Structure 1
Amino acid sequence: MVLFLIGLGILLLGGFVYGKYCERVFGPDDRETPAVKLADGVDYVGMKKWRNQLIELLNIAGTGPILGPIQGILFGPIAFLTIPIGCVLAGSLHDYFVGMISMRNDGAQVPKLVTRYLGNGTNKVYNIIIWILMLLTGVVFIYTPGDLIVNDVLGMDIHGNVIWIVYACILLYYILATLFPIDTIIGRIYPIFGGFLIVSALGVLVGVLMDGGASLHPITEGGLISVHPTGQSFIPVFFITVACGIMSGFHGSQATLISRTVMDEREGRQTFYNMMLAEGFIAMVWAAGAMVLFNRSAAVDTSATLMVGLISKEFMGKIGGLIAIVGVIVLPITSGDTAFRSLRLMIAEQFKIDQQKKIKRVFLSIVIFIPAAAILYYAKSNSEGFATLWRYFGFANQLVAVFALLMVSTYLKGNGKNYFISLLPGMFYTFIVSSYIFHDPKLGLNFDGRLGLEGYTGSYLVGLVFALLFAWFVAYSAKKRKDMILD
């Protein structure tokens, strides 16, 4: 319990202090924001600060900050330190600077920012990765809430015909949310969903505090870092597993979306940085709830999705548990629709497709949803389909974050500001994604296995090389494109 409370203290106090510092480094001023300067009634729509904050939180808080920590706590109580420290130094910083740099560039999506600050060649690689991530995110956030609705709300078989009806309903909502102006659906109903999210997190927190820490101890053998039940290595697997609770590349696409609705640059810290802190809080609470329940039942092999319902009902009873489950269902739905909206805007921006005309929005949306439906069908129809989908989603998510931190570091260095605050987490996550993909025998290259090396020996060395290349590329890009970088 002490470690959990220390972690919450780091998240709150550290986030306040470091958030203020990040704001000072960026330097928000009185210039007109895109919401004011480019108002079009569709995507550039000024909204109140509290509404922007809630929408940003709901946009970024999919199932990641819940399912990820539930799985990540199996690595031991170290999660209660790594989640808040990583959230303060990396995740919140990532969301804040991406959102604010986008605001300074007329609400441009990340691909356009990458082109400006890192060059067209880098953008071609990035575009492929981010478009795939947005598509996979949308599909994952149809699959996950659909299964929760059928299993936990309707009490029916997730492999029956009903699941396809539920998937179709969610997809239809996504189509509507993608086509209508941002304040028609998202701006009006998301604040209501925010209440479900907050209630579920607070309910689990109260349950953990009432437990008194009796069950907050390592689930498996070990101390601060426990022996994972399946033998996975803490580095790099933990930081891929608990992606959204610490840092997520997907958030960049959502921050740039909200950068078009913020009416004052000084609202940026509360809207971007602090909302990621709130997601870190959600991750901490569900990690603690999972640790308590795992220790009570020793069900270390229980699936993360099933654990959501068990934790909710354990701490909040049947009615409160149902509210919590509804909150968890809402999370991915509210992230999925904005993922598709972001993908539409990215493609439109890349190919200069006017989005003020409804017919063009309809056509582009159809282009997006056809492959999404095909991937969903594959994931549900094959025994290993969703596992494969989730692995690609998780890796792509962190790789996208590396590109965003590369862009942020180049921007800060080119403007003569303290770029080390983004350079260091960027180098760290470059090491993480590189060593992970080189080592993984299923998704990756099985580098160590092919060379007959023990553990991650070879993959760690490769990760170190790529981390150094990250630092070199920041210096190279800042020098080469200095005229394009200056505000």
Structure 2
Amino acid sequence: IIGRIYPIFGICLIIMALGVAIGIFTHSEYQIPEIWSNFTNMHPKATPIWSVMFITVACGAISGFHATQSPLMARCMKSEKQGHFVFYGAMVAEGVIALIWAAAGCSIYEVTDGLSTGLSAILANGQSAAIYDVCSKTMGGVGVALAMIGVIVCPITSGDTAFRSARLTLADWFGIDQGKFTKRLILCVPLLAVGAFVGHLDYTIIWRYFSWTNQTLAMIVLWTASMFLFKEKKNYWITAVPATFMSAVSMTYFFYAKECLNLGTKVAYPVGIIIAAVFFGIFMYATRKQTKAAN
């Protein structure tokens, strides 16, 4: 049932993003900073850009979470040819939306001594408060209505797809048929119980773990796709290069972040790059080994 209204949710979120973009340019008081004139770390606490930015942007950069939805989407498509438009198109669209919101954060809020103090202040009240504030300033009353929809819709759709994907994944692992309602409950009840427990934890911490897990999952999927493309004798570089990059992102954050190993940038930067290089080396070794075996 909820799948029938998903398109409406999607349209609302796209309209909200477009409204924010138009609102920025129609309000003379909002100026998007020139990137080359402000190519510095503007975080008030000097949090390093690499690789925290990619973890923070999360789905707007690259999304392992979206990769987990491929079994669901594949069952909804009539042809494999639709995959390019559905998956690639969705990620490009989300990337554009992420850029719009990044532009809003840079242009609307006060910058003090080269630091984004205004944005940090509004985010202290929660991400929903920032969404409400941006929509209100760029679109007025209409923006407030769209912001309310967005704040409600995003958790609902994310939660629904996450639980649904987890249920189907577990069903595939353990061979539990999902045709009967009772079989679905066997997996739904414990999953919802875990969700209820997580829901009482600090979401600022949960989000950081989710973001890192999301990017790490993207890394794994990219390496998997690279090997698949190699075996299919297709251009695997289109995924192997991003896989190497995301390996560096994920591993650097794991060694740097306070909620992970908290070893600082002096350790995290070189270790992250080295591990990414090792992963790339393992992949190249595996491809050459299979090539020799085939010959």
TM-score by length of 2: 0.88
1:411 aligns with 2:234: no
- Alpha carbons 1:196, 1:324 under 8 Å: kept: no
Q: CA deviation at 1:319?
A: 3.3
Could you list the per-position Cα deviations for residues 105-129 of structure 1 after superposition, in whole angstroms to 9, with x for gaps in the alignment?
A: xxxxxxxxxxxxxxxxxxxxxxxxx
Helix, strand or coil for the counterpart of 1:320? Answer: helix
Distance 1:213 1:313, change over 3 A: closer
- Alpha carbons 2:24, 2:30 under 8 Å: kept: no
1:232 aligns with 2:52: no
Query: Partner letter of residue 287 of structure 1?
Result: A
Using CA pairs below 8 Å that are at least 6 residues apart, which structure has the higher relative contact order? Answer: 1
Helix, strand or coil for the counterpart of 1:446? Answer: coil
Partner of 1:200 in structure 2? 16
- Alpha carbons 1:199, 1:324 under 8 Å: kept: no
Helix, strand or coil for the counterpart of 1:430? Answer: helix
CA distance, structure 2, for counterparts of residue 213 and residue 288 of structure 1? 14
Q: 2:26 aligns with which of 207, 210, 227?
A: 210
Query: Partner letter of residue 102 of structure 2?
Result: A
CA distance, structure 2, for counterparts of residue 332 and residue 478 of structure 1? 41
1:388 aligns with 2:200: no
- Alpha carbons 2:226, 2:239 under 8 Å: kept: yes
Partner of 2:95 in structure 1? 280
1:325 aligns with 2:148: yes
- Alpha carbons 1:410, 1:475 under 8 Å: kept: no
CA distance, structure 2, for counterparts of residue 200 and residue 364 of structure 1? 35
Q: 2:283 aligns with which of 451, 454, 474?
A: 474
CA distance, structure 2, for counterparts of residue 464 and residue 213 of structure 1? 42
Structure 1: 5+ residue stretches without partners: 1-183, 380-384, 449-455, 483-487
Helix, strand or coil for the counterpart of 2:176? Answer: coil
CA distance, structure 2, for counterparts of residue 479 and residue 325 of structure 1? 53
Partner of 2:122 in structure 1? 302
CA distance, structure 1, for counterparts of residue 172 and residue 30 of structure 2? 53
Could you list the per-position Cα deviations for residues 51-96 of structure 1 after superposition, in whole angstroms to 9, with x for gaps in the alignment?
A: xxxxxxxxxxxxxxxxxxxxxxxxxxxxxxxxxxxxxxxxxxxxxx
Query: Partner letter of residue 358 of structure 1?
Result: F
Partner of 1:190 in structure 2? 6
Q: 1:267 aligns with which of 82, 107, 124?
A: 82
Q: CA deviation at 1:233?
A: 0.8
Query: Partner letter of residue 473 of structure 1?
Result: I
1:461 aligns with 2:270: yes
Query: Partner letter of residue 280 of structure 2?
Result: A
Could you list the per-position Cα deviations for residues 31-59 of structure 1 after superposition, in whole angstroms to 9, with x for gaps in the alignment?
A: xxxxxxxxxxxxxxxxxxxxxxxxxxxxx
Partner of 2:239 in structure 1? 422
CA distance, structure 1, for counterparts of residue 198 and residue 80 of structure 2? 39
CA distance, structure 1, for counterparts of residue 28 and residue 234 of structure 2? 45
Taking only the aligned residue pairs, the percentage that are identical comes to: 37
Q: 2:172 aligns with which of 337, 349, 356?
A: 349
1:446 aligns with 2:262: yes
CA distance, structure 2, for counterparts of residue 262 and residue 477 of structure 1? 33
Could you list the per-position Cα deviations for residues 334-368 of structure 1 after superposition, in whole angstroms to 9, with x for gaps in the alignment?
A: 12101100000110101111111211001110021
Q: How does 1:7-406 map to 2 (within 5 A)?
A: 184-186=1-3, 188-211=4-27, 214-217=30-33, 223-295=38-110, 299-300=118-119, 301-303=121-123, 304-377=127-200, 379=201, 385-406=202-223
Helix, strand or coil for the counterpart of 2:81? Answer: helix
CA distance, structure 2, for counterparts of residue 435 and residue 299 of structure 1? 28
- Alpha carbons 1:344, 1:365 under 8 Å: kept: yes
- The number of aligned residues is 283
Could you list the per-position Cα deviations for residues 384-422 of structure 1 after superposition, in whole angstroms to 9, with x for gaps in the alignment?
A: x22221221111111111110110111112222211111
Partner of 1:125 in structure 2? none
Structure 2: 5+ residue stretches without partners: none
Helix, strand or coil for the counterpart of 2:83? Answer: helix
Could you list the per-position Cα deviations for residues 163-206 of structure 1 after superposition, in whole angstroms to 9, with x for gaps in the alignment?
A: xxxxxxxxxxxxxxxxxxxxx331x1112222311221121111
Helix, strand or coil for the counterpart of 1:225? Answer: coil
Q: CA deviation at 1:244?
A: 1.0
